[in-house]
Amino acid sequence: MKTFVFYISEYGFGHATRCIALIRAILSTRNDVQFIICNSFAMQFIRASLAEYGDKVIFHDVETDVGFVLKENSLDLDKQKLEQSYEEFCTKLPQKINNEMDFLSAFSVDCIISDISPIAFEIADKLEVPSIGISNFTWFTAYKNIIPDNSLQVFKSMYKKMDYFYKLAGSNEENLARLNTTSFNFYSRTINFLEVKKLRNRLNPTGEKQVIFIPLGMKIQIGDITKLPLWNDERYVFIVSHNMKIEHKNVHKIPENYTESQNYVATADCIISKAGWGTVSEAILQNKPLLIIDRKGMSEDQNTIRFLKNNNLCNLITWEELQNIDIGKYMNTQNSIYQNEVHTIISHIFKSVIS
């Protein structure tokens, strides 16, 4: 039995969903693998998503990184609070690493994968096992121009202990991996098309409207948005994340205990989202028109946006423009050339890293 440890970033559910795609693909094709999943914020969601695999998955509750800290009722970064959270995390780091080493010493670990918590690489280095980073960014580059350089070296030094880096679409990372860097484009959880048919029948029974999915993310609280004029457009039915504070006859919330949001992406006729890689990936693989809300202060967003714009994969709008948008102008899309690369990635893991 091979034991993989998977460290998943704390920021929202996007990192968790793409990690779940990989974990499911591996566990459904290999009988000789077990996973130890390390995360805190999204752990309940991860547990529910992987429940069918029973004792093949061990869940370990640990805060793996800092993520972003946003201003209240806003999509914008709170730089001061982020810097404070980063310093607090780094202060506790030596003890955290020791605790992880103690916990993992009970297992025979074959590989540590991270998306994209830096502590994973420090731990893998100490355990002398191969490590893989998989992401469109690292927190080292995400925090440049936000966290002072001397403080940021703590994260950089851990990332430099990464053996393999799987760069995803939109990545603008410097080469931090010790052994090899490989580029991939998009991957996501698989779609259940029977479920999509049911969702369409429920949300749009007459087929006369168009379905618009607006997933703004599970770490975003933007206050009461009930009064946006957008919701009153009778041509559309809207789907939003369950955490969004809105009550409107044209708006449906994803149920809180529903884990497979990729089915809502497949159900929708158009996606309006921040540039979160997980949602973007699902939208592109399903060939959906994609409207991205532009957030200037986020380097991760800007790198993803640059990739999307260069490949004619999205239109850009501001939060202010969203208030009175005519969605109909943005409903055209080109046929996507992208395939779900989840099996290509796991094949690479077993051929190149775990032989």
Predicted local confidence at residue 33, as pLDDT = 98
Residue 333: what pLDDT?
Answer: 74
- Please give the full DSSP string across 293-325, using - where no structure is assigned: E--TT-HHHHHHHHHHHHTT--EEE-HHHHTT-
Confidence at residue 224, expressed as pLDDT on a 0 to 100 scale: 63
CATH architecture type of domain 2-187+341-353: 3-Layer(aba) Sandwich (3.40)
- Contact yes or no for 97/122 (Cβ under 8 A): yes
Q: Which residues of 227-245 are buried (b: 16+ CB within 10 A; e: fewer)?
A: ebebbebeebbbbbbeebe
Element holding 103 (H helix, E strand): helix 93-104
| 160: Cβ contacts below 8 Å, ≥ 6 apart | 121, 176, 178
pLDDT at 231 > cutoff 80? yes
User: For 179-183, 185-189, 325-329, which range has the lowest pLDDT when averaged over its residues?
Assistant: 325-329
Distance of CA 291 to the CA centre of its chain: 18
pLDDT at site 336: 82
- pLDDT for 281-331, tens place per residue? 999 999 999 999 998 777 788 999 999 999 999 999 988 888 889 999 999
Indicate whether 265 pLDDT > 80.
Answer: yes
**Strand runs (DSSP E) across the chain, as ranges?**
2-8, 33-39, 57-61, 111-115, 131-135, 164-167, 180-183, 210-214, 236-240, 251-253, 270-273, 290-293, 315-317
* Cβ atoms within 10 Å of 253's Cβ, excluding its own: 15
CA distances (Å), 16 to each of 20, 21, 47, 268, 313, in order? 6, 9, 11, 22, 24
Residue 221: pLDDT over 60: no
Q: Work out the pLDDT band at 217, boundaries 50, 70, 90.
A: low
Alpha carbons 276 and 68: distance in angstroms, whole number:
12
Q: Greater confidence, 336 or 290?
A: 290
Tokens of 331: 């409903």
Amino acid 254 reads I
Residue 195, SS3?
Answer: helix
Question: Which residues lie below 8 Å from residue 354, measured CB to CB, with a gap of 6+?
Answer: 2, 110, 111, 130
**pLDDT exceeds 90 at position 67:** yes
| Mean pLDDT over each residue of the chain, to the nearest integer | 94
Least confident of 9-13, 227-231, 285-289: 227-231
Between CA 73 and CA 218 the distance in angstroms is: 13
> Region 56-73: what's the mean pLDDT?
95
Per-residue confidence at 218, pLDDT binned at 50, 70, 90?
low
Q: Distance between CA 168 and CA 173 in Å, rounded?
A: 10
305 vs 295: CA distance, rounded Å: 10
pLDDT surpassing 70 at residue 220:
no
The H or E element that residue 202 is part of is helix 193-203
Read off the pLDDT of each residue in 45-52 and give the average, rounded to a whole number: 98
Confidence class of residue 245 from pLDDT cuts 50, 70 and 90?
confident
Which of 110-124, 169-183, 214-228, 230-244 comes out lowest in average pLDDT? 214-228
Token reading at 114? 């991270």
Q: Give the architecture (CATH level 2) of 193-330.
A: 3-Layer(aba) Sandwich (3.40)
Domain with CATH 3.40.50.2000 in the chain: 2-187+341-353, 193-330
Please give the average per-residue pLDDT across 229-233, as a whole number: 91
